[in-house]
Structures are given as C-alpha cells and as structure tokens.
Chains A and B, each alone.
Chain A
C-alpha cells in the first residue's frame, strides 16, 4: 500500500476516524497496531508475521536485560538481539549479494564452485525497523532507557505504519513516551499534519516523479544522449531522490501528527548544505544520527588520532552505503561519501589557522561556491548510487566529462527546469524564519486556498507513470 494512492487514503481515513472516535487510550493503541499490521500485510502477510515475531523477541530480550544486573548476561542478551536482527537482515537482504560476490571471486580465481541462489523476498522496510530494534536494545543495555513493560506499546514503536517501511528511523526514547501521553484532536494538529502531507505529496508526485521521466531513460542508456542532457539527468536525480524521500518523510510525519505522534524530521534543506559534513547533518538525519550514535561513536568517534578518526568515518559511511542496498555501487557510494568527509575534515583543520581563507569562504561568493561544490559532489556520488552497475556509472561519467553529441532530452525540459527552480527557491527561503513569518502573516483563508491550490496542482501535474518511493527498496 503506497502513501500516494487511493487505497492508502481510504485506509488512513478509516483509521483516523476510528482512532479519534475511540475514547480509550489503550483501544487506540490496539487500533493502530491492527492497522499497522494490516498495512504491512497488504504487501506480504508472511513477512508481517516475521516482523511481529522478531519484535516480540526483542521485547522479551530487553525485559530480560532489565531484569538482571549481571553485566555479562546483559551483554549476551544485547548481542543475541543484535545478531538476531542483523541475521534476519543479512539473510533477506544480503545473502544473495554475498553469495554472488563469492561466486565472482571464485570464478575470477579460476575455481568453480556450485553456490546456490536463495529464493527470498526482501521484506519492505527491513533496514529501517532492524535499526530501530537494535537501537532500542542497545539503549536498554546502556541504561539510557528502561525496557518497555507494555508489549503493545513496544509493538507499536516498531510497527507504527507511518514510519514502518521507509522511516524516519525513530528512537524508543522519543516514541514510547508519546504512546503513553493522552492525546486530543485539535485544529492545530489537523492543520500541521495536513500541510505536511500535502507538501510530501507535491514533492513526490509532482517533482520526483517528473524528474524520473528524464532520469530513467537516460540512466537506462546513457551512451546515446548528449553531454548536456546527461548532466541534466544527474542533477535531476539529486532532486528526484531528495523529493522522493523527503516527500515520503513529510507524509509520514503528517500522518503520524494527525494521529497524535511526532516523528523526528529527516531532512533540513540538504541541497543547500555548505559542505559535506553539513550535508550529512541535513540529509536522512535519522539514519546519519543513528550511524553516529551506534557505529561511529562506539568505534571511537573523533577521540583518537587523525588516522583512526578517518578510519571510523570511512567505515561508518561504507556501512551506511551497504545499508542502502545489496550492491557494490551502494558500498562505493558510501565509501566515497566517507572519503569526502575525511577530506573535508582535513581541509577544515588546515584552514583553521588561515583566517583570510576562512573569511573568503564565508563571504557571499565563497558560500555560493561551497554550496555549488557540495551539490556537485553530492550529484556525482549519486550517479554511482543510481546506476545499476559500475559499467553504467562509468558510461554516465564518460558522457558527462567527455563532451559528446547524441540524443536530446526524452521529455519536455520546460517542466524539469521549472520544478528545479521551485526546489532551488524552496531551499533559498526554507531556512529563513522571515519566509515562514510571511506565510503565517497571511490571512488564514489565503493560506487555506493556497493549500487547496497546491493539492489541485499535485493531482493534476502528477505524471501518468507514477512510481514507488525509491527508499521502499531499502
């Protein structure tokens, strides 16, 4: 069940009305649990049972940790949870990837081995809920949060349908207190939630899906297009993936808000980031903070030598790449981002004692240059991310950097330029409080009509061939 479909709209309408009609908090929790289970089972009922079972296991493991003060028992229980969750993740997501890689290595070495191909269906959103479950047991182990006593509350933390399949990756310390909190439906909540949903739909259905019309044919056959169009497709993909994923996140935040829950924001105008570190603070924030807290800092963070810190960054970002998908292109994309972060750290350390350079970089032209450089780096890295193979990525880069003639755009470029400009101006204005003051300074009827116009525009401008959310595959 996709967010931007009639089926989901109907599903959510029923859940929303029933939820607020119920006067009992516990009944509401059970309603959301049932709805979330149904939401996931609409993809695959047996995989819904799998998540349910692993979640119940994590619940009891955490309760077990809470019940004992013996450190090694607590550690064993935590490791059991981590190994169990990662085992399920590896089996469903990475088993064939590693087997394929092994087969290729053996073949390259001249050996022949009969390595099977497993017939597995990838559970939607497995990477997201696995990380949520791991963060929970680790936090309980570290004593940061107590183990949740109510099984239904814990199940809702993992299964809550707005964030279940593509995040944001929520933390138990943020979510569980909200389950217990009494909630009332208010117009403010309704307005904020509705606005987020509309914004998300516009980003996904109008911008991301329109960009896909340009991106998909060019990445399918980059060699036949002219250089300028291939560049345009690469930039369009950056915009597409941002609008696709942040659009999903906005809808998730909006639906959760309408049900009385606040999920953490996942994007903060990342395309306007001034450097690569800034970008990773603004891009997929729930994942980057998870990686920081559960991989980078436990590895030592930046407390060691420069070499050790660089290794930590590279390792964490490579894992971040692998998290995205079972393909070496994702691994290299992650490693490349890690490398950029290492280079940026070194550059920052070098320029710390050069006030002239710092002044220049923080001037208006310097800031524009830094944003452009960061965006270009981000775009080039995403060429690898988007390409199904290194061969395709190489072909795209070849077309981008060796001027060549070829076919022009497969679609009308007017809408692409216009929507690109919309994203640009949104980034320009979005972080400025005065822009929001202008919005809230408008009379409420004007704001309401603007939102109505936005919804109408979304429904009209969505291309016929609208697609899945990109991050569903992760």
Chain B
C-alpha cells in the first residue's frame, strides 16, 4: 500500500538517519581499529607515545622493558636508572611498560602491543604476581579488536565477543576522548589525566601521601577485600596459567631473555597468605623454571614498611630505593647475560 507523501518523506528521513548513523559508527570503528587501536586504552596510549618518542630519537638503543601491574607502575622508575651499557657497547633504553591490573593476559597483550608498534624489546623483566594467577581484571573497554583476539583463548569467549561488539555499537561515545585529543584537542575532556614520566614511571600513587588516616584505611580495606580471600586459598586458574606459559613461550620464540620478578609486599599483605599458599607458589615457580629456564627473583621483602603507600604499592621514595636495588641485582646482570 502506498504511503501518503508526508509519511513517505518521514520514513525516508528516519531510515536515512538510522542508516547514516550506522555508517558513521562503522566508519569510526574501522578507522579506529585499523589506524588507531591505542585509542581504546588511554594508559597504553600514554606509554606507547613515550616509548615511540624514546625509540625514535634513539633508534639504535636496545630496549629493556618492564611489564607488570600497578605494583610495577609505581614501584619501578626507569628515570632513576643510571646508564646501562650492553655487551655491544650500546646504551640500553629502560622503559616501564606496565599496565594497571596487569596479570598474565595483559602482560602478554602488552608485549604483543609493543611488537605491533614495531618495538621488539631486547630484554624483558616481567612482574610475577601470584594473586593474578587466580583472577585477572577484565578491562573490556580497553581492548581493541586485535587485543581481544589475543585475550580470546584465555577468556570466556562469548562474553568477551559480546562485550567487544557492544562497545563498538557505542564506539563514538566510548572512545571519543582519544579521538578528540587527536582531532580537536580543545573539545577533549578527560576524567583523569594519565600522568607518567618520560620513561613510563608513574607517580600517581604518591598522591596517597597526605591522605587522612581514614582515607588510607578505606584504601587498605579495598585492597584487603580484593586480595585477602584470593591469597588465602590461592587457586591457579588454568587459563591464566596457560597465558603465563604462552607469554614465556613467545619470549623464547622471539629470543628475548626474561626475568620474572615478584614485586614488594609489606607484612600486611603477606599476612593474607593462607596455609600452604607459599608452598604452592614455590611449586608453580619451580615448574616455570624447569619448563622455560626463566630466573625468578623474589623481591617481596626487599623494602621496609615505611616505603609503602598501602600493602603493595611503594611510595616514590620507596620506588627510588627499589629501582636502585633492582638495577644492581637484576637489570645489569640481565643485560650482561649473567642472570640465571
């Protein structure tokens, strides 16, 4: 049945509006996924920008990258590391490429991202956080499609696929921050700036200094809720174990020397370990050592209590002291090929 002219006009207008919006969304997603996949993850984008700037201005320097969670982000300050010269006489570029909440899956993804960005690290220090073998955060909104593909084998696949698809439906809104910063910076508004030092060090946690005791207590309670139960009966998730092994396997295939480091924890955090957990961790580490020949350095008790902001994040002062010791006992031996 033919519609009256006005209704026909309205139908045409509505369908073009819906179709046009769909086309704009698809175009935006295609451009983002193919040209600017880092738009999905502001923290990665900020570190990537600094890493590319550092490598482009020093193309001959081999890269020693440190991967890990916020423990690494706040605890390791490459800016404090004295020049390290490799056996070939080149000065090493030490870079903190950590990511909040990173566990085996995100560490693997961060390495993949470095490779996609054209940076192949010559050495890797990877944080080994036993708690993240039980459970790792799922930052769906921070994953580009290529990232989701890396995560797929270790995740609930239908859920990851659905979340990735759903986020693309609202991509214009979800990822507008990075788009505006690139296309129209005056219009960009960010909830929180990603503040990093030039080599990826992060002093954000230092803002906890000066907090009221009540606020710090609340923070500690949050951390306790996150980890107490997890560390009390540490069950290793087979998928995360697989991701951990695939990460080490990839390093082996690429010929990248690796060291695993367990970052500092204070006594409060250690008290959450349940009976038998430490043995389970040691047993797991022994398995990794046997399979991959990877050195594992336990630095959990390296720092005194006054160097912690909370049970497992260092203050800036603590990070400086820790970085100095890590440099002497891990980084230099790793570069010199003396780390076994």
Interface residues of A (CB under 8 A from B): 6, 186-188, 190-192, 194, 213, 411-412, 414-415, 444-445, 447-449, 451-453, 455-456, 459-465
Q: Which of B14-22, B32-40, B201-209, B250-258 interfaces with chain A?
A: B14-22
A-B contacts, 11 listed (Cβ < 8 Å): A187-B7, A187-B11, A188-B6, A213-B189, A447-B17, A448-B18, A453-B20, A453-B24, A460-B179, A460-B180, A465-B191
Q: With an 8 A cutoff between CB atoms, is B78 at the interface?
A: no
Q: Known pairs A444-B9, A444-B13, A448-B16. 13 more at Cβ < 8 A?
A: A186-B10, A187-B3, A412-B186, A412-B187, A415-B187, A444-B10, A452-B18, A452-B23, A453-B20, A456-B172, A459-B170, A461-B180, A464-B189
Q: Is B12 an interface residue (CB 8 A)?
A: yes
What chain B residues lie within 8 Å of A412 (beta carbons)? 186-187
Kindly provide the distance from the CB of B13 to the nearest chain A CB, expressed in whole angstroms: 4
- B173, A460: Cβ atoms closer than 8 Å: yes
Q: B61 within 8 Å of A by Cβ?
A: no
CB contacts (< 8 Å) of B159 on chain A: these are none
Q: Which residues of B contact A452 (CB under 8 A)?
A: 16-21, 23-24
Which chain B residue shows the least CB distance to A466? Answer: B189
List, in ascending order, chain A residues with CB within 8 A of B16's CB.
444-445, 447-449, 452
With the chains together, A448 CA to B9 CA distance in Å?
10
Give the chain A neighbours of B15 by CB distance below 8 A.
448
CA distance A6 to B173 in the complex (A): 11
Query: Which 5 pairs, one residue from A and one from B, show the smallest C-beta to C-beta distance?
Result: A448-B16, A452-B20, A444-B12, A191-B10, A187-B11
Q: Which residues of B contact A192 (CB under 8 A)?
A: 10
Q: Determine if A191 and B13 form an interchain contact, defined as CB atoms under 8 angstroms apart.
A: yes
A445 vs B187: C-alpha distance in the bound complex, in angstroms? 29
Q: Which residue of A lies closest to B192 (CB)?
A: A464
Q: B14, A191: Cβ atoms under 8 Å? A: yes
- A213, A415, A463, A465 — most chain B CB neighbours (10 Å): A463
B181: shortest Cβ distance to chain A, in Å? 12
Contact check, B172 vs A460: say whether CB atoms are below 8 A apart: yes
**Closest CB of chain B to A185's CB: distance in Å?**
11
Asked whether A449 and B173 contact (CB < 8 A) given A213-B189, A415-B187, the answer is: no
Within the assembled complex, what's the spacing in Å between the Cα atoms of A177 and B117?
65
Contact status of A464 and B191, CB under 8 A, knowing A449-B20, A459-B170 = yes
Q: List residues of chain A with CB within 8 A of the CB of B24.
A: 452-453, 456
- List residues of chain B with CB under 8 Å of any chain A CB: 3, 6-21, 23-25, 28, 170, 172-173, 176-177, 179-180, 186-187, 189-191
Do the beta carbons of A464 and B190 come within 8 Å of each other?
Answer: yes
- Residues in B neighbouring A464, C-beta threshold 8 A: 177, 189-191
Q: Is the CB of A415 within 8 A of B3?
A: no
* Residue from the set B24, B180, B189 with the largest chain A CB neighbour count within 10 Å: B189
Q: In the complex, how many angstroms separate the beta carbon of A202 from the nearest chain B beta carbon?
A: 13
State the CA gap A415–B180 with chains docked (Å).
12
* Separation of A441 and B255 alpha carbons in the complex (Å): 67
Please state if B186 and A451 are interface contacts (CB–CB under 8 Å).
Answer: no
Contacts of B21 in A (CB 8 A): 452, 455-456
Are A465 and B20 interface neighbours, CB within 8 A?
no
**Shortest beta-carbon distance, A457 to chain B, in Å?**
9
Collect the chain A residues with CB atoms within 8 Å of residue B8's CB. 187
Among residues of B, the one whose C-beta sits closest to the C-beta of A460 is B176
CA distance A187 to B23 in the complex (A): 21
How far, in angstroms, from A398 to B179 measured CA to CA in the complex? 40
Q: B17 touching A194 by the CB < 8 A rule?
A: yes
Q: What residues of chain B lie closer than 8 Å to A449, measured between beta carbons?
A: 16-17, 20
CA–CA, A192 and B14, complex, Å: 9
Question: Closest approach, in angstroms, between the C-beta of B11 and any C-beta of chain A?
Answer: 4
Within the complex, the shortest CB–CB distance from B275 to chain A, in Å, comes to 45
Please report the C-alpha to C-alpha distance between residue A456 and residue B176 in the assembled complex, in whole angstroms: 10
A462/B173 in contact, CB under 8 A: yes
B189 with A448: CB separation less than 8 A:
no
Q: Is the CB of A465 within 8 A of B189?
A: yes
Please measure, in the bound complex, the distance between the C-alpha atom of A462 and the C-alpha atom of B179, giving whole angstroms: 13
Contact A462 B176 (CB under 8 A): yes
Q: Which residues from A are CB-within-8-Å of B187? A: 412, 415, 461
Residue picked from B3, B173, B180, most chain A C-beta under 10 Å: B173
Compute how far the CA of A455 lies from the CA of B176 in the bound complex, rounded to whole angstroms: 13
Q: How far is the CA of A280 from the CA of B173 in the complex (A)?
A: 36
* A456 CA to B13 CA, complexed, in Å: 16
Of A187, A190, A213, the most chain B CB neighbours within 10 A belong to A187
Contact, CB under 8 Å: B17 / A414: no
**A463/B10 in contact, CB under 8 A:** no
What chain B residues lie within 8 Å of A444 (beta carbons)? 9-10, 12-13, 16
Minimum distance in angstroms from A317 CB to a CB of chain B: 37
Q: For A194, what are the chain B residues with a Cβ–Cβ distance below 8 Å? A: 14, 17
List of A residues within 8 angstroms of B176 by Cβ = 459-462
Contact: A415 with B186, CB < 8 Å?
Answer: yes
A465→B189 CA distance, assembly (Å): 8
- Known interface pairs A414-B186, A445-B12, A464-B191; A451-B173 also in contact (CB < 8 Å): no
Q: What separation, in Å, do the CA atoms of A449 and B13 have in the docked complex? A: 8
The minimal Cβ–Cβ distance linking B76 to chain A, given in whole angstroms, is: 29
Q: How far is the CB of B187 from chain A (nearest CB, A)?
A: 5
Q: How far is the CA of A227 from the CA of B330 in the complex (A)?
A: 58
Are A448 and B20 CB-contacts (below 8 A) given A213-B189, A459-B176, A463-B189? yes
Distance (whole angstroms) from the CB of B2 to the closest CB of chain A: 13
- Residues from chain A with Cβ under 8 Å of B179 in the complex: 460
Q: For the complex, what is the distance from the CA of A447 to the CA of B12, rounded to whole Å? A: 9
Contact yes or no, B13 A186, CB < 8 A: no
* Cα distance A374–B25 in the bound complex, in angstroms: 42
Q: Which residue of B lies closest to A446 (CB)?
A: B16
Q: Which residues of B contact A453 (CB under 8 A)?
A: 20, 24
A452 to B28, CA, bound (A): 13
Q: Does A6 lie within 8 Å of B170, measured CB to CB?
A: yes
Minimal Cβ-Cβ distance residue in B for A447: B13
Known: A415-B186, A461-B187. A448 touches B170 (CB 8 A): no
A27 CB to closest chain B CB (Å) equals: 26
For A463, the chain B residues whose CB sits under 8 A away are 189
User: Once the chains are docked, how many angstroms separate the CA of A448 from the CA of B13?
Assistant: 4
Contact yes or no, B186 A448, CB < 8 A: no
Distance A187 CA – B3 CA, assembled complex (angstroms) = 10
Q: How far is the CA of A464 from the CA of B176 in the complex (A)?
A: 9
Q: Which of A186, A448, A464, A465 lies at the interface centre, i.e. has the most chain B CB atoms within 10 A of its CB? A: A448
Alpha-carbon gap, A463 to B172, bound state (A): 13
Q: Give the residue name and chain of the B residue nearest to A192 (CB).
A: B10
* CB-nearest residue of chain A to B191: A464
Asked if A451 and B189 sit within 8 Å, CB to CB, the answer is no
The smallest beta-carbon distance between A397 and chain B, in angstroms, is: 29
Complexed CA–CA distance, A328 and B10 (Å):
48
**B16 nearest CB across to chain A (Å):** 3
Decide yes or no: A448 and B172 within 8 Å by CB, A187-B7, A455-B21, A460-B180 being known contacts.
Answer: no
Q: Are B12 and A448 in touch, CB under 8 angstroms?
A: yes
List chain A residues, Cβ under 8 A from B180.
460-461
* Complex-state Cα separation, A415 to B188, whole angstroms: 10
Residue of A nearest to B28 (CB): A456
Q: Tell me, rounded to whole Å, the shortest Cβ–Cβ distance linking B27 to chain A.
A: 10
User: What's the minimum C-beta distance from A229 to chain B, rounded to whole angstroms?
Assistant: 16
Q: Are B14 and A448 touching (Cβ within 8 A)?
A: yes
